[in-house]
Amino acid sequence: MVGKKQKRFLKDRELSTLIIYTDCDSFSGCENIVSVLMNDVDFTNQFKTILLYRSSKLYSDQISNRINDISRTYPVPILALHRSKLPSAIRDNLLARGILKALSILFHPLIFIFNFFLLSLRLSRLGRGYILINNGGYPGAGGCLQVAIIAKLLGFKKVFMIVNNVAGKRKTFTKKLSKIYDQIIFSCVDKFISGSEPTGLMLKQNRNFNLKKILCIPNGIERVRFDEESRVRRRNKRYSYNEIITFSIIGVHEERKGHIILLNAVSELLMRRKDFLGRVKVLILN
C-alpha cells in the first residue's frame, strides 16, 4: 500500500516546479498573491509550488497562519541593511541615516556577492522549473533582481517578476550603471507582471522596458467585475444628484505607491464631468 508521503512524492515528480520568491520583512498587502497561489488547490494540482523568502522572524511567524502547508516554505538568510529595523532614535536621526547610507554603499559589493552565493545555492537545489518573483516595485529589492539573474543562469524554463508599485526613475549619479543593470534584468525576465496599467507603463517610461514583456493582471480584484454583464452595468450606472462618490487609496506615502496617479485621474474626471463637482471625496490612508 502506498502511504500519503509516497503518493505526494509520486505526484510531485509528475508536476512542474514553481518557485515563488519574495524579499519582504513582513506579510504585507502585496504578499497576498503568495498565500492565494500556495493555498489554491487547483493551482497546486498543476504545479509543485515552493515558497522561498528572505529569512525574517516576523515573516516566518505570519506565514504559519496564512499558508496551509508550510513544509514547502524555505527561508534564506541573506543580508539586508534596512533603516526601518533600527530604533527610532537612530532611524530618524539625519546623521545616523547618513552613516548607514555610507556603510551600505561601502559594503554593497560584499553583501551582493554573499547574497548571490546563498541564493544560487538554494535555487540550484529546488529544480529548474518556473519562478515567480514577487518584487515590491522596481528596482525594488536587491534580492529579487539577483534571483532573476540566477534563475536565468541556472536554466529555469520561465522567469516572471511581479512589480507591485510604480517603477522609480534612475538616480542621476548611478544612471549609467542602473541602465546596464536594467538591461541585464530585462534580458533575464520573460514577463513583468503589474497589477495595473499605470504601473506597467511606468516600467516603460522610467526604465525603458519594452511593453511586449509587460503583462497587466489586476491584483486583488473580484473576478466577477470582469464579466461582460458586470462591465456593462458599471458603464451604464447613473449617480443621483446628491450622491457622494468616494475614491480611496491605502499605502505608505511614497512616490512609488502612485498616489499622484489617483489624484490626476480624479482631477481629469472633474474636468470632464462638471456635474461631479462638490460630490467627489478622496481618502488617502497610511
pLDDT digits (tens, 9 = 90+) for 153-178: 999 999 999 998 888 888 877 888 89
Taking only the tens place, the pLDDT of each residue in 255-286 is 767 788 889 999 999 999 888 888 888 988 87
On the CB side of 275, CA atoms within 13 Å amount to 6
Taking only the tens place, the pLDDT of each residue in 132-150 is 999 978 888 899 999 999 9
| Residue 264 grid coordinates | 490626476
Mean pLDDT of the chain: 84
pTM as predicted: 0.75
- pLDDT, average across residues 122-129: 89
